[in-house]
Structure 1
Amino acid sequence: MNNILPPSNDSHDYLSWAPYHWPDCNWCAKAKAFSTPDETWTTCPYITLDGQVNPDVRTLNGPVAITSVSQAVLYTAVSYGLTRLPDYSRRAAQWIDAFFLSSSTRMNPHMKFGQIVRGPGPSGQLGTYTGILDLRGLVKIINGILILKSSGSPDWTASRDQEMRAWTLRYIAWLENSSIAKMTASRANNHGSFYVSQLAVTKILAGDQQGAIDVLQHFFKSQFRDQLAGSGEQPFEAVRTRPFHYRCFNIEALITNAKIGDFLGLDLWSTRSKYGATIQTAVDYAIKTKPDDEDVHELVPHVASVAAAYGDPDGKYAAFMSKTMEDYESKPFWFYDQTQALPNSPAARKTKRRQDNVVFGPVIEFSCPMVFDKSDKVELDMGVYTTCNELRAFYEY
């Protein structure tokens, strides 16, 4: 199934399918047996089963390729920065060339066909606002590029830098102007959080640091304010069918945004939601939450980030990581999650105070998140909706 093309028939256009959508063809099973998978994709309506991944979405090249290139570029760039061995630098440049720059293999700078909801009619021919999430690994790729540049890599030439900057500028234009991306930007949950990560980091590579700062500050003054309850609960994630996973997922995006801000000289770690919670509060809440059948290991890298950013004077984060993942100090995330890498964090500035010495303001009464100002219900994923009343209990718990 690796030769499947997007509706544009352009092999350079990224393609993925919405993961939580399944064909609903019971009505036609006896009348007609489909001989090829694509008959199912274009004939049967698809229904939403939140949290249940349709396994055939994993047969496409795009999502796997993005994951592979993001890890490869970051690891080889870090390896070059540490060792100055030229092979690592060459490999990083080759990965970037293949994915972004080569005329025969490059990806076009848009996500127009990301997470298509298959089925008959026009809706099965265009991607959805959830598809932008697939390219969240771009943060790692640009991180790798910045390492190559700062390390003086001979392989990161002026021409290669110019070409990558041109690709980035075109992607920024799509992120800021396409109807799909505008909808992603408006989402109140993890989709909106990860959108900000991509837009901010691409602006950094394009040389627009003030633009990146503006994007981050706008997010932390808008969507972020409603994302965290006073307890640290994340109502927009907790209402989903896999709440532990989605709590961790949005925390990943929030930490990424705070790290990008830290690089730009901002302390977004100390930003509080409308109800007084920080990213640390969200992680503390998740630590106390039972994962049930979900994977508790998802949380460990985020605990490491919080320990680096806020400090761990009581050792509670180290204790959690040791209990949950004994070899956590041998993992790549532990290498990145050090206070020295976060110079604008509370821990680095030595302004961390014991939580029991912090005086909070008055308790703020619940009010519906601003995303409900224009609608009685909001979409969290394709076909997955929630209301203010459904979220209220998570804020007041």
Structure 2
Amino acid sequence: MLTHPSPDPTGPRVAPPRAQRLRAVILLAAVAVGVLGGCELRRVPDGAWRLRGLATRPRSTPASAAATPPRVYALDAEGLARAKRRIASGDARLQPAYDRLVREAGAALQVPPASVMDKRRIPPSGDKHDYVSMGPYWWPNPATRGGLPYVRRDGERNPEIRNDYDAPRLAAMTGAVTTLALAYYFTDDETYARRAALLLRTWFLDPATRMNPHLRYGQGIPGITQGRAAGIIETRGLVGVVDAIGMLERSPSWTTADDRGMAGWLSAYLGWLRSSVIGKQERSAHNNHGTWYDAQVAALALFIGDTALARSTLEGAKTRRIAAQITTDGRQPYELARTRSLAYSVMNLEGLCRLADLARHVGVDLWSYRSPRGGSIRKALDYLAPYADPRRKWPGRQITPTEPDLLVLPLEQARLLYGDPRYDALLRRIPQDAVRSHRAQLLYPEQDSVPVASRTGS
């Protein structure tokens, strides 16, 4: 039987049947006389009724009956539900990934609620609600007094980017929210949902701390510009936030007002992405920036219900992203030109995979699309896949080390989608601790009909 770690060491307590009946009578009576001011009686997906606004005890173990597919767009809803059922039934293959997720969620519980107001730096507008960041690869000019204008050193991160700019806090917040929401989905432990909701409200919704929905001052360059299109890559975590909100829907900690507030903020940001000069410039980018721009537009459009915009964006990705960026043999020339060419090739591939996942919601097939020159997402993966083997040396420039699990996520997804045993063989060449504990095991679990032997290679 799988173990289910929980932030609540006491574990859940189940009331006896008589107490449960009494609680139901009290609840109905309270609704009838209107003493539940501020609470909302809401039907949740499992058919039960829940009062939003009332505290609930955390649950440490997911119930298989509650493994309802969540409202997600970039993730695989059926795959998540399948993984949740397997965890509840004791599938030991998922235990390492589950344990790691719970550990990471425990760490995410300690992430302080951050906001754009935390910085001491004053944006060019004078409004601290505006997001400000600096281009990561720009350094003081050694040839000038005062170091201005800054000069570019591709792939070399200037530690100044962490000096009172908003980008590190945004990345920490979106990472924590996606981890907490996923942990909540798998454990039904309200502790995780409560914290995720607090982080989201603080960054996006609270009038005192909310970020204005634009990136006019993203990735500025000292001595050159206050902000530029490249900064939009820093909000790619919103693709995960959209799915996190869907996983929080059943939680009493996430209210209808929260949902409406996020829809309003994301709608405003989407409008800015599409109408601003900076947004239009990023849309025209030919590399990973353009890919992740499309992913953000499509994810936000799906969240607010603009399926026409999502469909046109994703249909356009065939020519703007896949055909323009992937050669016949699967190379990504715009990424290969970088000093961290392997890392950027994988980053762009992951963006293309997210586009393909989003596209399934509007009837567009990017997974099997092949450009007139023969380029495709699968070709891009197949070009990179051999370098999942740590014994293979990457032929391009890669001036920083890469993690051994760099290709686990796209390989696990491709293995499930295409059923090609080559991907299994490549996954076995990666250190197995890194593979078994990877979150991809929970996001893309085996189909229920697949026997254990076919996955383990035994």
Query: Contact 1:226–1:274 (CA<8 Å) still a contact in 2?
Result: no
How far apart are the structure 2 equivalents of 1:304 and 1:56? Answer: 36
Is 1:135 the counterpart of 2:235 in the alignment? yes
Alignment of 1:81-120 (within 5 A): 81-119=185-223
How far apart are the structure 2 equivalents of 1:146 and 1:110? Answer: 23
Query: Contact 1:25–1:45 (CA<8 Å) still a contact in 2?
Result: no
Is 1:311 the counterpart of 2:419 in the alignment? yes
Shift of 1:329: 1.8
Query: Contact 2:181–2:196 (CA<8 Å) still a contact in 1?
Result: yes
In structure 1, the residue corresponding to 2:144 is in which secondary structure?
A: helix
The range that moved more, 232-241 or 297-306, is 297-306
Query: Contact 2:133–2:231 (CA<8 Å) still a contact in 1?
Result: yes
In structure 2, the residue corresponding to 1:115 is in which secondary structure?
A: strand
The structure having more radius of gyration, on CA atoms, is: 2
Where relative contact order (Cα < 8 A, 6+ residues apart) is larger, the structure is 2
Is 1:164 the counterpart of 2:262 in the alignment? yes
Is 1:144 the counterpart of 2:244 in the alignment? yes
How far apart are the structure 2 equivalents of 1:338 and 1:5? Answer: 46
How far apart are the structure 2 equivalents of 1:215 and 1:44? Answer: 39
1:33-80 deviation per Cα after TM superposition (whole angstroms, max 9, x unaligned): xxxxxxx4xx61111122222121122342222222222222222222
In structure 1, the residue corresponding to 2:139 is in which secondary structure?
A: strand
Which one-letter code corresponds to 2:177 in the other structure?
Answer: V
Distance 1:319 1:114, change over 3 A: same
How far apart are the structure 2 equivalents of 1:110 and 1:340? Answer: 41
Shift of 1:264: 4.0
Shift of 1:95: 1.3
Match of 1:181 in 2: 279
Distance 1:27 1:154, change over 3 A: closer
Which one-letter code corresponds to 1:172 in the other structure?
Answer: L
Which of 302, 305, 322 is the equivalent residue of 1:224? 322
How far apart are the structure 2 equivalents of 1:204 and 1:147? Answer: 15
Query: Contact 2:215–2:231 (CA<8 Å) still a contact in 1?
Result: yes
Distance 1:329 1:270, change over 3 A: same
Shift of 1:155: 2.5
Which of 300, 304, 326 is the equivalent residue of 1:202? 300
Shift of 1:26: 3.1
How far apart are the structure 2 equivalents of 1:59 and 1:263? Answer: 40
Is 1:237 the counterpart of 2:335 in the alignment? yes
How far apart are the structure 2 equivalents of 1:274 and 1:226? Answer: 11
Alignment of 1:347-386 (within 5 A): none
How far apart are the structure 1 equivalents of 2:377 and 2:440? Answer: 18
Shift of 1:93: 1.2
Match of 2:365 in 1: 267
How far apart are the structure 1 equivalents of 2:171 and 2:276? Answer: 24
1:169-210 deviation per Cα after TM superposition (whole angstroms, max 9, x unaligned): 110110000000100001111110000011111111212123
Which one-letter code corresponds to 2:316 in the other structure?
Answer: H
Q: Considering only aligned residues, what root-mean-square deviation do their CA atoms show, in Å? A: 2.2
Query: Contact 1:280–1:310 (CA<8 Å) still a contact in 2?
Result: no
In structure 2, the residue corresponding to 1:302 is in which secondary structure?
A: helix
Query: Contact 1:23–1:44 (CA<8 Å) still a contact in 2?
Result: yes
Which of 109, 120, 125 is the equivalent residue of 1:3? 120
TM-score, with length taken from structure 2:
0.66
How far apart are the structure 2 equivalents of 1:306 and 1:24? Answer: 44
Shift of 1:24: 0.9
Alignment of 1:67-86 (within 5 A): 67-86=171-190
Match of 1:336 in 2: 443
Query: Contact 1:69–1:141 (CA<8 Å) still a contact in 2?
Result: no
Q: Which runs of 5+ in 1 are unaligned?
A: 29-39, 342-346, 348-397
The range that moved more, 152-161 or 162-171, is 152-161
Which of 247, 252, 276 is the equivalent residue of 1:154? 252
State how many pairs are aligned: 321
Query: Contact 1:23–1:46 (CA<8 Å) still a contact in 2?
Result: yes
Match of 2:394 in 1: 291
Which of 370, 378, 382 is the equivalent residue of 1:280? 378
Match of 2:431 in 1: 325
How far apart are the structure 2 equivalents of 1:45 and 1:209? Answer: 44
Is 1:14 the counterpart of 2:126 in the alignment? no
How far apart are the structure 2 equivalents of 1:251 and 1:141? Answer: 20
Match of 2:102 in 1: none
Distance 1:2 1:163, change over 3 A: closer
Q: Which runs of 5+ in 2 are unaligned?
A: 1-117, 388-392, 451-458
Which one-letter code corresponds to 2:329 in the other structure?
Answer: S
Is 1:55 the counterpart of 2:159 in the alignment? yes
Distance 1:89 1:200, change over 3 A: same
Distance 1:286 1:157, change over 3 A: same
Shift of 1:317: 1.8
Query: Contact 1:204–1:212 (CA<8 Å) still a contact in 2?
Result: yes
Query: Contact 1:234–1:282 (CA<8 Å) still a contact in 2?
Result: yes
1:69-106 deviation per Cα after TM superposition (whole angstroms, max 9, x unaligned): 22222222222222222222212211110111011221
Query: Contact 2:263–2:303 (CA<8 Å) still a contact in 1?
Result: yes
The range that moved more, 222-231 or 317-326, is 317-326
TM-score, with length taken from structure 1:
0.76
Which one-letter code corresponds to 1:190 in the other structure?
Answer: N
Shift of 1:240: 1.8
Query: Contact 1:269–1:279 (CA<8 Å) still a contact in 2?
Result: yes
In structure 2, the residue corresponding to 1:5 is in which secondary structure?
A: coil
Distance 1:230 1:107, change over 3 A: same
1:98-157 deviation per Cα after TM superposition (whole angstroms, max 9, x unaligned): 1110112211111111100111xxx43x211110000110111111011222xx222322
